[in-house]
Amino acid sequence: MDLRARLQAATKDAMKARDSARLSTLRLIGAAVKDREIAARGDDGDNSELTEMDLIAILSKMVKQRMESAKAYEEGGRLELAQKEMDEIGVIQEFLPRQLNEAETVSAVDAVIDDLGASSIRDMGRVMAELRARHAGQMDFGSVGPMVKARLLH
C-alpha cells in the first residue's frame, strides 16, 4: 500500500475510533499534501501527483517543525503544548521510513563517499545529494552534514 493510501486509511480509522488528537494530526498532513499539490500545479494546470519522495519530504518537514516548536514550548515552560507537539510527531513518524541508527548512518555515509570517489570538501554537495536520494526520510541531514564534512577533511 502506498503512502497516500496508508494516510487515507489511517484517517478513516481515526474517524471511526473517534480519536480526535490523531485525526487532527492526520488532517494536518492531508492539508499539507493538498497545499503542496496546489503549489505544484502552477499556472499550466498540470495535475501530476506528488511522488512518494515528495510525501516523505513533506512529512519530514512537519516533524522538523514540530521538534522546533516543542523545544520552544519547553524553554517557555509550556509543557502541555510541548507534549502535544511530541504526540503529533509520533503520529507523523508512523508514515516515515524507519530512521537509521548511528552505525547505519555512518555506514551509509562511508558507502556514498566510496561510491562517488569523494576525496575533498568540494565533493560535499554531491555526497549530500546522493545521501538524500538514497536515504530520504531515514536520517537527520542536519547532523549528517558535519559527519560528511569531518570524513572528507581527513
Res 135: pLDDT: 85
Q: Which residues contact 90 (CB under 8 A, 6 or more apart)?
A: none
pLDDT-wise least confident of 46-50, 88-92, 111-115: 46-50
pTM score, whole prediction: 0.74
Domain 102-153 falls in which CATH fold? Answer: Arc Repressor Mutant, subunit A (1.10.10)
Which tens digits make up the pLDDT trace of 51-95? 888 888 899 889 989 999 999 999 999 999 999 999 999 999 899
- Res 100 pLDDT > 90: no
Domain 3-93 falls in which CATH fold? Answer: Hypothetical Protein Yqey; Chain: A; domain1 (1.10.1510)
Q: How far apart are CA 149 and CA 147, in angstroms?
A: 5
Calculate the alpha carbon distances from 12 to 6, 20, 27, 80 in Å: 10, 12, 11, 27
